[in-house]
């Protein structure tokens, strides 16, 4: 029987509330344990997290671009003469004055692809952006190919960038039809700086003398604290009265002071440098595929009793020989299956735990049970069902 040891850690994200003490991680030992980790606090030197890292100015957003293109130069790893690949090649040749029926075109060295890109805010004409390329048909590899000039359009149907260049995917697929060795993902790739911006997207940051800060994650506490922190810098920013206020749990409205009306960028730069002490939700995130568990410092478990055990099944495969009785006139010697299955149940008794108000105490309690990562996932499920886990449970 093969056993796999899954080593993981439960990441402790401090809530960073006022007057909250820093959690010190206990010394780590050998084996698989649930261990809280104290990261570098953003306010370790008296500050918090910058507004720049907590949200963005409304209007300063990226735009998605897509396009349909053809990758050429493949070594017989392209599409197997699909209809749209052959038609795309025929259309491309027609642009250069060559009229060729689509039925007579071979696409074994070409592949039809979809191209995607993200156009950053304020990207000017002539700027370069990265693009991703993905095979649409049955091409087996895009390695060594080059994307032919492909216009990238936005949601409004207008062309904002043009992509062209060699595909980079750091992968290969070698072998025969019966045995193939593949590294990474050969049917997708990227072009670093492979697209030229042709048209700029106009962005409006200030409307009616006001601008909005959009938070990366909805949080009423953070929105209120951010508005309070901005008002606390009123003397430096030149604001007056209630010039910053939380509109809802996802945005903060700021009135641009008169002295910055002609230079809003300077005001935004000073605004984004202000630090705020963020808050965190009680949350446990589990990935059942990798056996990873991440919990925030707000996780709390009410007083409960836990009993957890494992069932192990061992099967020994074997065969027995059967023969006819002595002097028997009929019958033949034969082999019959003789498998033996043994079930072993392991685990302790019912363990009673008091209220566990911190994630450190939760990890110590679960480690005392000798539970593996996947055992802990089951325990968290049951704690949530029993309403003892006072946190949001997220399963990936």
Dump pLDDT digits (tens) for 133-151.
999 988 888 998 999 999 9
Average pLDDT, stretch 36-61?
68
Residue-number span of the structural domain to which 190 is assigned: 63-197
166 in Cβ contact with 145 (< 8 Å): yes
CATH code (residue 270): 3.30.1360
Q: What is the pTM of this model?
A: 0.67
- Mark which of 197, 223, 245 sits at the end of a domain: 197
Nearest of 150, 235, 160, 166 to residue 200 by alpha carbon: 160
Please say if the pLDDT value at position 35 is more than 50.
yes
Asked if 219 and 251 sit in the same domain, the reply is yes
Q: Is the dihedral of CA 297, 299, 300, 304 positive or negative?
A: negative
Asked if 286 and 271 sit in the same domain, the reply is no
Question: What pLDDT was estimated at residue 244?
Answer: 93
Asked if 236 and 346 sit in the same domain, the reply is no
Q: How many domains does the chain have?
A: 3
Asked if 247 and 369 sit in the same domain, the reply is no
- Mark which of 197, 216, 238 sits at the end of a domain: 197
The pLDDT-based confidence of 36 (bands split at 50, 70, 90) is low
What backbone torsions phi and psi does residue 106 show, to the nearest 5 degrees? -105, 135
Asked if 192 and 109 sit in the same domain, the reply is yes
- Mark which of 197, 224, 239 sits at the end of a domain: 197
Asked if 309 and 363 sit in the same domain, the reply is yes
Nearest of 82, 91, 132, 90 to residue 112 by alpha carbon: 82
Residue-wise pLDDT for 164-218, tens only, equals 999 998 877 766 666 677 777 889 999 999 999 999 998 889 999 999 999 999 9
Asked if 301 and 191 sit in the same domain, the reply is no
Asked if 192 and 227 sit in the same domain, the reply is no
Q: Following DSSP, what letter does each residue of 127-180 receive, concatenated?
A: -EEEEEEEE-SS-S--TT-EEEEEEEE-TTS-EEEEEEEE-B---EEEE-SS-E
Asked if 37 and 128 sit in the same domain, the reply is no
Burial class of residue 195, CB neighbours in 10 A (0-12, 13-18, 19+): buried
Asked if 181 and 212 sit in the same domain, the reply is no
Asked if 265 and 287 sit in the same domain, the reply is no
Asked if 189 and 76 sit in the same domain, the reply is yes
| Tokens found for residue 387 | 């309403």
Average pLDDT, stretch 241-245?
90
């Amino acid at each position: 029987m093969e056993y796999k040891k899954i080593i993981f850690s439960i990441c402790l994200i401090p809530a960073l509330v006022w007057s909250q003490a820093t959690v010190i991680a206990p010394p780590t030992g050998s084996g698989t344990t649930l261990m809280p980790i104290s990261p570098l606090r953003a306010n370790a030197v008296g500050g918090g997290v910058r507004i720049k890292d907590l949200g963005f100015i409304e209007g300063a957003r990226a735009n998605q671009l897509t396009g349909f293109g053809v990758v050429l130069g493949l070594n017989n790893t392209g599409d197997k003469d699909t209809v749209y690949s052959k038609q795309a090649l025929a259309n491309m040749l027609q642009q250069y004055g060559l009229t060729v029926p689509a039925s007579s075109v071979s696409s074994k060295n070409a592949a039809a692809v979809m191209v995607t890109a993200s156009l950053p805010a304020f990207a000017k004409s002539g700027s370069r952006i990265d693009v991703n390329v993905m095979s649409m048909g049955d091409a087996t590899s895009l390695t060594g190919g080059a994307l032919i000039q492909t216009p990238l359009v936005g949601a409004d149907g207008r062309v904002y960038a043009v992509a062209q260049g060699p595909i980079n995917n750091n992968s290969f697929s070698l072998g025969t039809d019966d045995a193939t060795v593949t590294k990474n993902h050969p049917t997708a790739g990227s072009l670093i700086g492979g697209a030229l911006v042709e048209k700029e997207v106009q962005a409006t940051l200030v409307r009616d003398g006001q601008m909005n800060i959009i938070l990366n994650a909805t949080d009423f506490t953070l929105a209120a604290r951010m508005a309070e922190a901005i008002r606390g810098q009123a003397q430096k920013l030149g604001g007056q009265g209630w010039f910053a206020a939380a509109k809802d749990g996802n945005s903060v409205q700021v009135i641009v002071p008169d002295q910055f009306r002609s230079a809003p960028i300077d005001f935004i730069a000073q605004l984004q440098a202000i630090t705020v002490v963020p808050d965190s939700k009680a949350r446990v995130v589990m990935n059942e595929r990798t056996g990873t568990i991440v919990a925030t410092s707000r996780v709390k478990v009410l007083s409960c009793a836990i009993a957890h055990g494992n069932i192990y099944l061992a099967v020994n495969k074997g065969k027995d020989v059967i023969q006819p009785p002595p002097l028997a006139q009929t019958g033949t010697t034969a082999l019959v299956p003789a498998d033996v299955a043994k079930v072993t149940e392991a685990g302790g008794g019912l363990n009673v735990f008091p209220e566990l108000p911190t994630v450190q105490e939760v990890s110590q309690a679960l480690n005392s049970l000798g539970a593996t990562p996947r055992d802990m996932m089951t325990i968290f499920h049951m704690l949530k069902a029993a309403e003892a886990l006072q946190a949001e449970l997220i399963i990936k």
